Structure 1
Amino acid sequence: MAAARRPPTLVPAYVLHQYDWSETSLVVELLTREHGRVAVVAKGAKRPHSQLRPVLLPFQRILVAFGRAGRTAGDEGVPEVQTLRSAEWGGAGHVMPAGAALFSGFYLNELLMKFLPRLDPHPALYDAYEATLPALRQRGGRDEPAMAAALRAFELCLLQTAGLLPDLSVETATQAPVDPAARYRLRGETGVAAALGDGELDGAALVHAQAALQHGSLVALQQACLPHAAAWRGVLRQLLHYHLGLPQLRTRQLLVDLQNLERRTA
């Protein structure tokens, strides 16, 4: 007598990106806690009555199961992918971010797509992503200081996870402790260094951020970023672009283009 087939193991995931695979199917890039970033083929997901269509949405926690590697798409430059076996809601549906908050959500997804290799799990970063999303949904993203602090905290977590963030509590070249009352620069090529002129960041901002990172508390890191969110924005943007080798991320450029269009049509 044949053994009963075991149901597939479901793991929590978020949709980061999706694109066409065929006339009826999609390749979906997922962020999972157990497996990291995973590419799966969602067969038939483009059909009008597919049960996957209303489930494979960004910024919604879903439960997925995927199986053995599927075919290889040489022409599209897509490496070997898994086959999506099932996908269902992972809890109550959440309101989608809107306006600038929606672009911020896609910005987080773009960062993860560019910085994380496939099948390289980072549970703490998954948890940080999951905990950051509510800040984008809060009152439609209109609490701008809190949303900005949440974005800066996630960027710091991502850089630390990728091994690209120096110890913020010491000067990189000299290993001298950072003076909370002094001003500092943070650069991809030099790390933390004493400021030239007025500088960019208070030493206190660096020390508090490093303490929160060491503690592993995203809430503490968001609170540390809140008073200095504007300064952190420019510093981290330069750092991210340095390590990516890009002058601008697509989501940032699209937001700038839309803002310019609004000004011209106002």
Structure 2
Amino acid sequence: MATRRNAAAPLAAYVLHHHDWSESSLILDLFTRELGRIVVVAKGAKRPYSQLRCVLLPFQRLLVQLGSKRQEEGTEVQLLRSAEWGGGGAMPGGAGLLAGFHLNELLLRGLARQDPHATLFDTYAATLPVLASGDDAGTAAALRAFELHLLADTGVLPELHVVTATQRPVDTGARHLLHPETGVQPLRDGETGLPGAVLTALQVALDARDLAGLRSACLGAPVELRNQLRQMLHYHLGTSALRTRALMVEVQKLIEP
């Protein structure tokens, strides 16, 4: 009986992406705390009178219940039986909206289906309100913290407080490179990299699961960290460019004088 109750319990979820399945239905990528990233079909969701129509929105916490599974073009698709709003703040707008789609793209590219990441789910949920705050520096730090969590949770982020090749502690007074293949390595004088003190602070916060501390550490070298993580993400996600990042660049060009 306990197993049946657990199986029927609503799942916390966010909509990452959707596309049309028929004239009246949608296929959705959901990020759930319990099951990870899953694909569901929402039958009739496009109909004007559907209760799902105004609920299945990005960046809104949902409580969903699933039905039967089926194979659709080689992908396991589950039936979305119901979905209701699970609470949360306003949807981010402007630059925050683009930042939110950046998070969704990272999850779509970086996570395998049916692979739960409960801590990353909680980090995603805690990041969305920051994106809606309008604080540019805070938004940038929140993005970097999420990217670090994604890389760490998927097992591709090296230990940041040691030089990867030697496993010796980084020199907190020197700069280091965060390389996708060779990990953390020291730099020569004059080269651009991340301060060892920042790398150490990032690792301490990651180990302690201290999201606020991680965001604070990201403020120590915002531009350098963004550039280093960009290379890491492109390498491990198998892409030379993220669509949302390219869109951010184009938007920035339009608003700059």
Coarse TM-score class (shorter-chain normalised): over 0.9
**1:38 maps to what in 2?**
38
Code of the residue aligned with 2:169 in structure 1: it is: P
Output the CA distance in 2 between the equivalents of 1:213 and 1:262: 35
**What is the CA-CA distance between 1:256 and the residue it aligns to?**
2.0
**What is the CA-CA distance between 1:96 and the residue it aligns to?**
1.2
2:192·2:224 contact (CA, 8 Å) conserved in 1?
no
Which residue of 75, 93, 96 maps to 2:91? 96
Q: What SS does structure 2 have at the residue aligned with 1:108?
A: helix
Alignment of 1:178 onto 2:170: yes
Quote the sequence identity (%): 56
Greater alpha carbon shift after TM alignment, 108-117 vs 198-207 = 198-207
Code of the residue aligned with 1:64 in structure 2: it is: V
**How is 1:49-64 mapped onto 2 (pairs within 5 angstroms)?**
49-64=49-64
Code of the residue aligned with 1:73 in structure 2: it is: E
Code of the residue aligned with 2:126 in structure 1: it is: A
Q: What SS does structure 1 have at the residue aligned with 2:132?
A: helix
Q: What SS does structure 1 have at the residue aligned with 2:76?
A: coil
**What is the CA-CA distance between 1:231 and the residue it aligns to?**
1.5
Output the CA distance in 2 between the equivalents of 1:121 and 1:167: 22
**1:236 maps to what in 2?**
229
**What is the CA-CA distance between 1:249 and the residue it aligns to?**
0.4
Code of the residue aligned with 1:204 in structure 2: it is: A
Output the CA distance in 2 between the equivalents of 1:96 and 1:122: 23
**2:10 maps to what in 1?**
10
**How is 1:145-184 mapped onto 2 (pairs within 5 angstroms)?**
145-184=137-176
Code of the residue aligned with 2:249 in structure 1: it is: V
**What is the CA-CA distance between 1:8 and the residue it aligns to?**
3.8
Output the CA distance in 2 between the equivalents of 1:213 and 1:227: 15
**2:123 maps to what in 1?**
128
Output the CA distance in 1 between the equivalents of 2:219 and 2:230: 16
Give the TM-score taking structure 2 as reference length: 0.93
Code of the residue aligned with 2:192 in structure 1: it is: G
2:34·2:116 contact (CA, 8 Å) conserved in 1?
yes
**1:84 maps to what in 2?**
80
**What is the CA-CA distance between 1:259 and the residue it aligns to?**
3.2
Structure 1 unaligned runs (5+)?
none
**What is the CA-CA distance between 1:105 and the residue it aligns to?**
0.2
Code of the residue aligned with 1:37 in structure 2: it is: R
**What is the CA-CA distance between 1:178 and the residue it aligns to?**
0.5
**1:202 maps to what in 2?**
195
**1:217 maps to what in 2?**
210
**What is the CA-CA distance between 1:110 and the residue it aligns to?**
0.4
Code of the residue aligned with 1:109 in structure 2: it is: N
Which residue of 111, 134, 151 maps to 1:116? 111
**1:73 maps to what in 2?**
72
Structure 2 unaligned runs (5+)?
none
Query: Structure 1 runs of 4+ off > 4 angstroms?
Result: none
Output the CA distance in 2 between the equivalents of 1:60 and 1:214: 29
Output the CA distance in 1 between the equivalents of 2:22 and 2:15: 19
**What is the CA-CA distance between 1:73 and the residue it aligns to?**
2.9
**What is the CA-CA distance between 1:227 and the residue it aligns to?**
2.3
Give the TM-score taking structure 1 as reference length: 0.90
The alignment covers a number of residue pairs equal to 252
**What is the CA-CA distance between 1:147 and the residue it aligns to?**
0.8
Output the CA distance in 2 between the equivalents of 1:254 and 1:82: 32
Q: What SS does structure 2 have at the residue aligned with 1:85?
A: strand
Code of the residue aligned with 1:133 in structure 2: it is: L
Deviations 1:123-176 (A, max 9, x none): 1000110111111011xx2x1111111100000000000101000010001111
Q: CA RMSD in A?
A: 1.7
